[in-house]
Amino acid sequence: MRKTLALLSLLLFTGAAWAEPLRITALGDSLVQGYGLPQGQGLVPQLERWMIENGAEVTLQNAGVSGDTTAGGAERAEWTLSDNPDGLIVLLGGNDMLRGLDPQEARGNLGQILQTAQDKGIAVLLIGMKAPRNYGPEYKQDFDAIYPELAAEYDAVLHPDAFAGIAAEAGNDPAAAQGFMQDDGIHPNARGVALNAAAIGPAALQLVAAIGH
């Protein structure tokens, strides 16, 4: 009888442990932090809701800092991962690009973040940014290449464009795209975030699968 109760207790404890949602930290800039948006409408809460609605048991932690560059993210990566989350989402590089910083510097900083996660055995989803054409073809080529190259090097899940949801909805119409942006023309509004979160969602589910392995 005692053995049976002990076995049942063990099974219940194990089941409860399995039921714990995965903890995923999102490291990034204002796009992650939720700049200019009502509470609950930023990328982190909207992506968390999308993932849960699509069968994932997760909680997303917001480690976004407005104005952060890849250098800032690299400086706080170790501290951000000190609680050993199950997974990491990285969305950085937009501020580097807006300041016209050297793509190789951004690549090195992002590589440092991915290396920190890899050393801790934490699976990563890397979300890319696309440089606008007015920076020139060479800058755009070098900047856009950062994300797929690093994802391949560090075996990270890749979502190539943080604004893919808006781009798919608006097509090549800049006026239509502005309808999903805040007045500054840089940050998405709540509707734009919803589109981007849904576009990121399948890659986020790949991250969950990678954690499971």
Stated as kind and residue range, the H or E segment containing 213 is none
Distances (CA, A) of 42 to 30, 129, 186, 190, 201: 10, 18, 14, 7, 14
Partners of 126 in the β-ladder: 90, 158
Which is catalytic among the residues 29, 30, 68, 161? 30
The C-alpha atoms of residue 43 and residue 62 are separated, in whole angstroms, by: 9
Catalytic residue among 86, 96, 144, 187: 187
Show Cβ contacts of residue 11 under 8 Å, excluding neighbours closer than 6 positions.
none
Q: Residue 139's Cα: distance from chain center in Å?
A: 23
Phi, psi torsion values for 132, nearest 5 degrees: -70, 160
3-38 b/e (C-beta count within 10 Å ≥ 16 → b): eeeeeeeeeeeeeeeeeeebebbbbbbbbbbbbbbe
Per annotation, catalytic residue among 82, 83, 184, 213: 184
**Does 187 participate in catalysis according to the annotation?**
yes
Which tokens is 179 given? 């309808």
By annotation, the residues acting in catalysis are: 30, 184, 187
